[in-house]
Amino acid sequence: MNRIFIALIVAVAVTGCGAPDQAAETADKTQAAEAGHEGEAGHAEGEAGHEEEAPGELDIDAERISRAGIQTEAAGPAEIRQTLSLFGTITVDPARTRDVAARFPGLVKSVRVNLGDRVAAGATLATVESNDSLQVYAVTAPIAGTVTARNTNPGETAGDTPIFTITDLSSVTAELSAFPADRVKLRSGQIVRILTSEGELTAEGKINQIAPVGSSDNQSVAVRVPLANRDGRWATGLFVTGEVAVATSKAALTIPQSALQDIEGKPSVFVKTEHGFRTQPVKIGRNDGVRVEVQEGLAAGDVIATANSFALKAEQGKGEAEHEH
The answer to whether residue 49 scores a pLDDT higher than 80 is no
Query: What backbone torsions phi and psi does residue 259 show, to the nearest 5 degrees?
Result: -80, -20
Predicted confidence band of residue 321 (pLDDT cuts 50, 70, 90)? low
Mean pLDDT over 262-272 rounds to 94
| Residue 35 banded pLDDT, cuts 50, 70, 90 | very low
CA 269, 273, 277, 279 torsion-angle sign: negative
Rounded to whole angstroms, how far apart are CA atoms 322 and 53?
A: 12
Looking at residues 19-39, what average pLDDT do you find?
A: 47
**Within-domain flag for 11:** yes
CATH code assigned at 156: 2.40.50.100
**CA dist., res. 116 & res. 91, Å (int):** 16
User: Does residue 128 sit within a domain?
Assistant: yes
Q: Is 232 found in the same domain as 88?
A: yes
Residue 100 has pLDDT above 50, yes or no: yes
Last residue of a domain, one of 123, 152, 167: 167
Residue 54 is predicted with a pLDDT of 57
Say whether both 270 and 318 belong to one domain.
yes
Query: How many CB atoms are closer than 10 A to CB 130?
Result: 16
Look at residue 47 and tell me if it is in a domain: no
For the ranges 123-127, 219-223, 263-267, the maximum mean pLDDT occurs at 123-127
Residues 86 and 177 in one domain: yes
Instruction: Give the count of domains, the chain.
Output: 4
Q: Domain span at residue 131?
A: 95-167
- Are residue 64 and residue 177 in the same domain, yes or no? no
pLDDT exceeds 80 at position 175? yes
118 and 146 both lie in a single domain: yes
Q: Which residues are CB-neighbours of 128 under 8 A, at least 6 positions away? A: 102, 104, 106, 107, 108, 109, 136, 137, 139, 158
Q: Give the C-alpha separation, 290 to 303, whole Å.
A: 18
Q: Above 80 in pLDDT, residue 77?
A: yes
Q: Residue 71 maps to which CATH number?
A: 2.40.420.20
Residue 52 lies in a domain: no
Same domain assignment for residues 144 and 159:
yes
Q: What is the pLDDT of residues 186-220, one digit of tens each?
A: 999 999 999 998 778 999 999 999 998 887 778 89
Lowest mean pLDDT among 49-58, 170-179, 200-209, 230-239: 49-58
pTM of the full structure: 0.68
Here the CATH number for the domain that contains residue 192 is 2.40.30.170
Residue 43 lies in a domain: no
Same domain, 104 and 218: no
* pLDDT value, residue 314: 86
Cα separation, 219 vs 10, in Å, equals: 110
Of 114, 133, 167, which one is at a domain's C-terminal end? 167
Last residue of a domain, one of 203, 233, 249: 249
**Do 88 and 195 share a domain, yes or no?**
yes
pLDDT of residue 48: 42
What pLDDT sits at residue 174? 97
In a domain, 108, yes or no: yes
| Region 226-252 average pLDDT | 95
pLDDT tier at 316, thresholds 50, 70, 90 = confident
Give me the pLDDT at residue 227, please.
97
**Is 204 found in the same domain as 109?**
no
**Is residue 238 located within the same domain as residue 177?**
yes
Pair 87, 197 in one domain: yes
- Rounded percentage of the chain residues whose pLDDT exceeds 90: 67
What does the alpha-carbon distance between residue 294 and residue 286 come to, in Å, rounded to a whole number? 8
Closest among 207, 173, 212 to 190, alpha carbons compared = 207
Q: pLDDT category, 31, cuts 50, 70, 90? A: low
Q: Are residues 175 and 243 in the same domain?
A: yes
Residue 305 lies in a domain: yes
